[in-house]
Amino acid sequence: MHLQLTAGVKWATAACFVASFVLLLLSLPLDALMDATQAWIEGLGFWAPLAFAITYGLAATLFVPGSALSLAAGVLFGVWVGTAVVWLGATLAIVLSFLIARYAARARVEALAKTRPRFAAVDRAIGEEGWKIVALMRLSPVFPFSLQNYLFGVTAIRFWPCAISSSAFILPGTFLYVYLGFAGGEAASVVGGSGNSDPWKLALQLVGLLATLVVTVYIARIAAKAVAKHAPGEPELPVEAAKEPVKAASAARAAWTLALAVACLVASLTAYARSESIRSYFLPPRVELIERHAGDIGSAMFDHAAFDALLKAHVDEDGLVDYAGLAEDAPRLAEYVDTLGAAPFADLGRDEKLALLINAYNAFTLQLIVEQYPLDSIHEIPSGDRWEAARWMLANRIYSLDEIENSLIRPNFRDDRIHFALVCAALGCPKLRREAYNGEAIESQLEHQAADTHRSERWFRYEETEGLVWLTQVYSWYAEDFEQIHGSALASAARYSPQLRQALAEGRALRIRWLPYDWSLNEQPPVSVTPSRT
């Protein structure tokens, strides 16, 4: 009865932990987080693989499961480079953990090994067979990778045999995880990015994945049997050993573990119920794009001449701002911002409304920077004083910059080109136009702005021979906006690239990669003055 109860508790505990993990994954915007990670890696350039390997090594040393990082490596670097990167990071973890266990945490790891008879048996087996057992254990998934790294440090095996055999025999499992990440990333990119796929390529990837999985599992089973064969049997307990206290302690540990698993499940359920709130920490809110002002003819106009003059005076052809000069012109900027507070929004026509909102967003952002100038990035301003700060008077109401974008513009104007017109004072943003938007010309202004933005390699690049499309992360953050209007981010970008448009028409399989987003201030470089000769 006790054995049945213990088995039931173990299964219930495992089920709770698995369910918690799945719910947690469903609660997080994993696609956007992966996009951001990929863009950050790309921003490191030549050093990206080394940085990832070091991160992997340190994480595995701290008992962070390496499987997720191995999957990510397949997405970010591909099969071969990803395998090399993960192998290097895992080798680093092997070395660090071994040295820590042997010289800094020997007593703690020995205590942990004593509480687990399986590891005690392995310790005896290693004493007899040395590096052979290490190699077999590295092939077996039964023994956790990070715990193995520390366990070997308290056995009799020497450093070099352990490090070399470990490094060599982790390759099958490493390749499996990286290949799994690569195949999943390829499928998600093709399906989610363009709706076009090469069925033969996907079939070959699936066959390769299944073959790798079968071979790895087969090798792991052989290794597990070999370890069991080499490990001596468990020592028998003396007859007089007090078994009941052991059973009681085991039952108590099982109960506490089950309680922890249930607590994790409750927390994960709460997170899943609030997944939209969690998503808002990483992404803009979801909105349905509806053209709500199409029938607004308008009985009034609003004059943006003052803002137009400021832009022409302090913004160059590259969209960079002379913030020092604009700071000296702060009274004129403040005067224009004050007029926005009394703008007759309800009496404006549809195009005048949109022009007002875009100009207001950009003018408020400029004033925010001028108030804090000098600075190197808008991120130097405290988060509560940036986009979330409800301080801007517009049409007799106070809004934050986020509210202007996500409550006044996106849900009311079915036009994704606004993402190329709203400027957040960063080099990664679209260029700031040298003119104010106005209702009479806003259609041509938005179209020119969108086309001009896609001529910048900070926003868009298409590598035709590789089938790679590099996009700004704005396409990731606001993916649903572009999908609602054009079906996908690629279809939206293709409007401004004949080559990409043709590739989509031909059904080519395309992959999306995300460009690093540069948050440096969109400021004009200082003018160098050459001293005159006298």
C-alpha span between 194 and 510 (Å, rounded): 7
Q: What is the pLDDT of residues 116-153, one digit of tens each?
A: 666 566 666 665 667 777 777 777 655 678 878 887 88
Q: Which one, of 164, 163, 139, lies nearest residue 149 by Cα?
A: 163
Helix (H) / strand (E) element for 460: namely strand 460-463
Q: What is the pLDDT of residues 399-434, one digit of tens each?
A: 999 999 999 999 999 999 999 999 999 999 899 999
- Supply φ then ψ for residue 514, to 5 degrees: -105, 130
Q: Supply the DSSP symbol for 47.
A: G
Q: Supply the DSSP symbol for 404.
A: I
Paired strand residues for 392: 399
Number of C-alpha atoms within 13 angstroms, CB side, residue 230? 22
Name the most confidently modeled range: 53-57, 201-205, 248-252.
Answer: 53-57
Q: What is the pLDDT of residues 293-333, one digit of tens each?
A: 998 888 889 999 999 999 999 999 999 999 999 999 999 99
Q: Which residues of 190-229 are buried (b: 16+ CB within 10 A; e: fewer)?
A: beebbebbeeeebeebeeebeebeeebeebbeebbebbee
Where is average pLDDT lowest: 133-142, 329-338, 449-458, 520-529?
133-142
Residue 182: Cβ within 10 Å count? 24
Are the C-beta atoms of 510 and 194 separated by less than 8 Å? yes
- For residue 302, how far is the Cα from the chain centroid? 42
Are the C-beta atoms of 516 and 43 separated by less than 8 Å? yes
C-alpha span between 413 and 294 (Å, rounded): 8
pLDDT-above-70 percentage for the chain: 73
Q: Is 508 helix (H, G, I), strand (E, B) or coil?
A: coil
Ramachandran area for residue 425 (φ above 0: left; ψ -120 to 50: alpha; else beta): left
C-alpha span between 508 and 189 (Å, rounded): 13
Query: To the nearest whole number, what is the mean pLDDT of the chain?
Result: 80
Task: List the chain domain ranges.
Answer: 41-234, 305-514
Query: 115: which residues sit within 8 A by CB, 6+ positions away?
Result: none
Q: What is the pLDDT of residues 101-120, one digit of tens each?
A: 878 756 665 665 566 666 56
Angle, CA 309 vertex, CA 306 and CA 314 arms, to 5°: 125
- Whether the per-residue pLDDT at 166 is higher than 70: the answer is yes
Are the C-beta atoms of 232 and 126 separated by less than 8 Å? no
Are the C-beta atoms of 120 and 109 separated by less than 8 Å? no
Helix (H) / strand (E) element for 532: namely none
